[in-house]
Amino acid sequence: MKTLLLLLGAFLTCGALAQDRPVPRPAMAARLAADEDVIGIVHWGLNTYTDREWGYGDEDPVLLNAPNFDADQIVQACKDGVLDADDVKALKDFGELRKALFAHRAKGGENFNVVVMREDVSNGELVDEWEFVADGKAILRGKSIGIKRIRLLREPVFAKNCSVRVVRGVGAPKVSYTLYRADQAIIDAILNAKGDEDETDTAKWMTGNPKTAHAPSLLPEGKTFKLAWSDEFDGDRLDESKWSYRTNFWGRRAHWFATPEDNAVEVKDGLLHLKLVKKPDGRFVSPQLQTGELVWDVPHEDNPKGFWPLPKREKAKFAHRYGYYECRCRLQQMPGWWSAFWMQTPMQGCSLDPRFAGIEHDIMESFEVGEVIPHYFHSNGYGADYLGFCVPRRPKDVTPEAFNGPNSVKLDETQFHVFGMLWEPDGYTFFIDGRQHGPKVGQGEGEAVSQTEEFVLLTTEAKWYRNDRMTGKGVPELDAAAAAGDEFVVDYVRVYDIVE
């Protein structure tokens, strides 16, 4: 990569290259001459496949194989961004230039989505590990920097104070950086480009290679956190050491909850895809995933040799108390079904003291496309003793149906969003896309705070099947959503402890 960046420097500043490669067209050269802040970043070569920092000239040519690489995808993004027709043709014709990014230096008060770092290696210093810190939060981490290291951000960042922190290094490494901003379509095209699945350089780390592209957490300010549990969905299948399928509902098999045989769960490209599926009998199913189970969901079994009709239960794969619970996801795109990120305790409602029986925490529920309803808490079971409250707080004389609509948050369903809940001994605070949503609750009239461990759920559900004591029919919109392959997509789930 370092060699390639030096090659690019010649491309941009000298306007002349080896004879077997075309020279930039006048339109590009003129633009570069007029604006010194324009840079070009390109990378695609043999070291993409060898996991080396650069090529050594001894690689087997058969390694250079990218049958799924779509160069036109990148070229089109460039064309739609800042390049004209001559520029685009120059890029397409330029042998190794399979990826291109053109960016402008970010001035004060501007967002940036490209970070260029340079290390002074003239005296033998060496960075072994580093962090790029924006307003006190590490948004990038990596190993070496070398002559130049370029990182792309999947989402733009605005920060007043930035710095590079050398975590480990030889000597006294000196690192400088420059921030750039680029058309987001070009950034996305590079990070999502087909091929180069194991690339070790430019388009990989920031949020990772397109198969493992994860944004940094948006942690609440003023506290220190330590990661306690997470799933980044980087494999090629669901990690069943962390998740189980929820297939029962109040002691009975829920026919609209997907099982593994329904193929409604897919893990690929660093994302979890929860799908709505139409079965051959015309019914619709979608997945409910959980890290534990509610005792009331487990069906009873005949027990002729004993008294209690209780089957063997599984220990929770993950349950936790207090901390920050966060999910980055893209909501379903079509009506007919809904999605949620929430928590329960295995003994929900077993006692009329919600502190010890636990409380259902609804961190995110989306019943309509592009809408998230208020954050609800449910305790004391779901019957005559039920107690509940929500954020924002709902007046006693207003029904949930009347309250939810005007107090729902409207979001762009085509984009990923981050939903978080800070659970402390004295209350709960919610966050949407890094911003606090509503007041801290838990100490008001009719409110309480769970003091017991709870498990995590990621669920979807076809509407109306649970109606009329689980005899309802699915809504008409389900057909179109299933035919379109609609999905609820999750980037990650993370749980952090609060470090005292």
The total number of structural domains in the chain stands at: 2
- Distance set, CA 428 to CA 263, 281, 380, 441 (Å): 36, 44, 18, 5
Same structural domain, 245 and 186: no
How far apart CA 369 and CA 337 sit, in angstroms, is 9
Q: Are residues 232 and 187 in the same domain?
A: no
Percentage above 70 pLDDT, the chain: 71
Residues 203 and 95 in one domain: yes
Predicted confidence (pLDDT) per residue in 385-410, tens digit:
889 999 999 998 999 989 999 999 99
Q: How is residue 233 written in tokens?
A: 């969905």
What band does 57 get if pLDDT is binned at 50, 70 and 90?
low
Answer yes or no: is pLDDT of 312 > 80.
no
pLDDT in tens, 323-362: 999 999 999 999 999 999 999 999 888 889 999 999 999 9
Same domain as 256, residue 235: yes
Decide if 217 is inside a domain. Answer: no
81 confidence band (pLDDT: 50, 70, 90): low
- Residue 354 falls within a domain, yes or no? yes
Asked whether residue 62 is domain-assigned, the answer is yes
State pLDDT tens for residues 466-476. 887 777 888 99
Listed residues 155, 188, 212: the one ending a domain: 212
Shared domain for 290 and 270, answered yes or no, is yes
The answer to whether the CB of 393 falls within 8 A of the CB of 444 is yes
**pLDDT at position 104:** 76
- 401 with 465, same domain: the answer is yes
Q: What is the pTM of this model?
A: 0.61
We report the CATH number of the domain holding residue 34 as 2.60.120.260
> Could you tell me if 173 and 311 lie in one domain?
no
Average pLDDT, the chain: 78
Bridge partners (DSSP) of residue 470 are none
What b/e readout covers 344-368, taking b as 16+ CB neighbours within 10 angstroms? bbbebbeeeebeebbbbbbbbbbbb
* Residue 353's CATH number: 2.60.120.200
Arithmetic mean of pLDDT, 296-310: 74
Domain assignment of residue 400, given as a range: 224-499
The tokens describing 194, both together, are: 């087909």
pLDDT tens sequence across 237-287 = 999 999 999 999 888 889 999 999 999 999 988 899 999 999 999 999 999
Say yes or no: 88 and 193 in one domain: yes
Say whether both 243 and 207 belong to one domain: no
Highest mean pLDDT among 132-141, 174-183, 196-205, 426-435: 426-435
Q: Quick one: pLDDT at residue 465?
A: 87
Q: Judge if 100 and 230 occupy the same domain.
A: no
If asked whether residues 105 and 30 sit together in one domain, one would say yes
Residue 374 shares a structural domain with residue 396:
yes
